[in-house]
Amino acid sequence: MADTTTEIPKHDVIIVGAGPAALTAAIYTTREDIETLLFERGVVGGLAAVTDKIDNYPGFPDGVEGLTLAQDLQKQAERFGAVIELGEITAIHDEGEYKRIESTSGDMHARAVLIATGSDYKKIGVPGEQEFYARGVHYCATCDGAFYREKKLVVVGGGNSAVQEAIFLTRFASHIDLLVRSTIKASDVLQQELQEYVDKGKITIHLNTTTDLIEGEDKFVTKVTGTKDGKKIEFDVDGVFVFVGLEPNSEFVKNSAVLLDEIGFVTTNQDLMTAIPGVFACGDIRSGATMQIASAAGEGATAALKIREYLEGRAHPIQN
């Protein structure tokens, strides 16, 4: 159990994040009677919780709502004794047997740490994107799509998430213009489904089209300007949804001994341990991850077992 008799509270394991990888790890650690505290700065369940429907998670032949899966994972972890705290970890320090964690709740010590912070939505970095965030610019169709019933939208991106979310947004929008910088890179299954909505007149695809400027009036988006085949093109719209990939949530370890790859994802060895003894990483934050919920959950289970081995003195860190 946590030792709060000293100045700095001590824990067996602190997990940074509370997405599918983190929650799965917590299910395994707590079942092993390893006291576990999770820190989440955003939404419990991570990006899975704000995904409308997950069709490729094993065991759900008809798919499952992302929020439902996230809530069930949370309930399961808490049933075994995991504690989830809303807050942010700002730094990790190696102090030997214990790692010192800096957080918005103060400093804490942990025998082992699991980094499972996942990724966040990547921005396109054009004028107006930041200014109109949440006032016409969005990154989560499930969260904000319902605000645009019978409205015109632009969706930016050509990968799986962009196509999937554009299709979802047809539930609300009167029409969607899909702006794709080069070509559609979504899976064949999604492209076939997308074509059905194109044929219905619900979605228009604009290939080789960049998004250059987002404008608005009265603090809300009214126009998107882009370039298509070298020529300026404008769209009168009510909102913009951006789905151009993910970037790692690794800012808090950039000045630590944790090694990052060239993009900023955490590097681990085969035991999912970082360069700091006792600090592990799993899920979408880990370099080489497949960015799938099923594999994130699997890595969470593996990380928990490796943490147990470490606490028993049978696992070692990545070598520089």
pLDDT value at residue 99: 96
Q: What is the pTM of this model?
A: 0.74
Q: Is residue 131 part of a domain?
A: no
Judge if 301 and 233 occupy the same domain.
no
Residues 101 and 144 in one domain: no
pLDDT in tens, 257-289: 999 999 999 999 999 999 999 999 999 999 999
- Of 198, 218, 242, the domain-final residue: 242
Q: Is residue 51 part of a domain?
A: yes
Residues 6+ apart with CB under 8 A from 117: 16, 17, 248, 249, 250, 252, 285
Q: What is the pLDDT of residues 123-139, one digit of tens each?
A: 999 999 999 998 999 99
Q: Which residue has the higher pLDDT, 119 or 84?
A: 84
Residue 100: give its domain's CATH number: 3.50.50.60
Residues 94 and 19 in one domain: yes
Q: What are phi and psi of 264, to 5 degrees?
A: 115, 5
Domain coverage including residue 289: 10-120+246-311
pLDDT at site 49: 87
pLDDT bucket at 50, cuts 50 / 70 / 90: confident
pLDDT digits (tens, 9 = 90+) for 142-193: 878 999 999 999 999 999 989 999 999 999 999 999 999 999 999 999 999 9
Does 233 score more than 60 pLDDT? Answer: yes
Mean of all residue pLDDT scores within the chain: 93
Closest CA to 30 of 48, 43, 11: 11
pLDDT tens digits for range 60-118: 999 899 899 999 999 999 999 999 999 999 999 999 999 999 999 999 999 999 999 99
Claim to verify: residue 236 and residue 175 sit in the same structural domain: yes
If one compares 122 and 27, the residue with the highest pLDDT of the two is 27
**pLDDT number for residue 4:** 47
Same domain, residue pair 145 and 90:
no
pLDDT for res 5:
45
Residue 2 domain-assigned?
A: no
Identify the domain boundary among 223, 242, 261. Answer: 242
For residues 174 and 235, state if they share a domain: yes
Answer yes or no: do 155 and 229 share one domain. Answer: yes
Q: What is the mean pLDDT of residues 11-15?
A: 97
Where among 190, 210, 242 does a domain terminate? 242
pLDDT at 144: 87
Whether 108 and 207 share a structural domain:
no
In this structure, the answer to whether residues 237 and 254 fall within a common structural domain is no
Cα 308 to Cα 32: distance, rounded to the nearest angstrom: 8
- What tokens appear for 167 in the block? 């299709």
Please indicate, yes or no, if residue 253 is contained in any of the structural domains.
yes
User: Same domain for 208 and 221?
Assistant: yes
pLDDT for 315:
62
Q: Is residue 34 part of a domain?
A: yes
| Same domain (yes/no): 191, 53 | no
Q: Is the pLDDT of residue 290 over 90?
A: no
Please tell me the total count of domains within the chain. 2
> Does residue 319 sit within a domain?
no
Taking CA atoms, 31 is separated from 76, 79, 81, 153, 158, in Å, by 11, 10, 8, 47, 42
If phi over 0 gives left and psi between -120 and 50 gives alpha, with beta otherwise, what is residue 136?
left
Residue 3 has pLDDT above 70, yes or no: no
Q: Confidence band (pLDDT; 50, 70, 90) for 319?
A: low
For residue 225, what are its two tokens? 């300007």
- Is position 169 within any domain? yes
Amino acid at 142: T
Q: Give yes or no: residues 181 and 260 share one domain.
A: no
Residue 317 counted as domain residue: no
Overall average pLDDT of the 296-304 stretch: 97
Question: Is the pLDDT score of 320 beyond 60?
Answer: no
Dump pLDDT digits (tens) for 253-263: 998 999 999 99
